[in-house]
Amino acid sequence: MGGNGGLGRIGPAAAVLHRLTGNHEVANTEFLVDGMGYLTALARHELSGELNYTTRNIIEKWSQTVTMRIDRFHSFWRGSPASARRWLRRFRHHYNHDRPNQALDGRMPAQEVN
């Protein structure tokens, strides 16, 4: 049977979507994908997807930046775990509520979700 739950030989995109649609309601979901295999698999499930390298590249850059900052934080933080949690809570509040975001035309991220 293989490692894909008896699905025979299918591509990784189809296997992921099979598991996803089996466990979650995704009919109204818009997928951002990074390859034609996913677009084909989405179409077979009658789901919509967008192949958008600009958005994907922005997300990847942001993810790299976050990873770099986490690594830097772990490398240089000399306080206790409790003091790190306090600092992160304050930073998260500042970042989401007090700091204007250039990509949001100067609005705060919290304003976008409330």
Instruction: Give the residue numbers spanning the domain of 111.
Output: 78-114
- pLDDT tens-digit series, residues 46-82: 777 776 677 777 878 888 888 888 888 878 888 888 8
pLDDT of residue 94: 92
2 and 57 part of one domain? yes
Q: Read off the pTM.
A: 0.38
3-state SS track over the chain: CCCCCCCCCCCHHHHHHHHHHHHCCCCCCEEEECCHHHHHHHHHCCCEEEECHHHHHHHHHHHHHHHHHHHHHHHHCCCCHHHHHHHHHHHHHHHHHHCCCHHHCCCCHHHHHC
97 and 65 both lie in a single domain: no
Query: Would you state the pLDDT for residue 2?
Result: 45
Q: Mean pLDDT over residues 2-16, rounded? A: 63
Q: Are residues 107 and 63 in the same domain?
A: no
Is the domain of 85 the same as that of 53?
A: no
Same domain, 72 and 85: no
The count of domains in the chain is: 2
Shared domain check, 83 and 71:
no
Are both 64 and 95 inside the same structural domain? Answer: no
**Residue type, position 2, single letter:** G
Q: Which of 5-19, 20-34, 53-67 has the lowest mean pLDDT?
A: 5-19
Higher-confidence residue of 71 and 9: namely 71
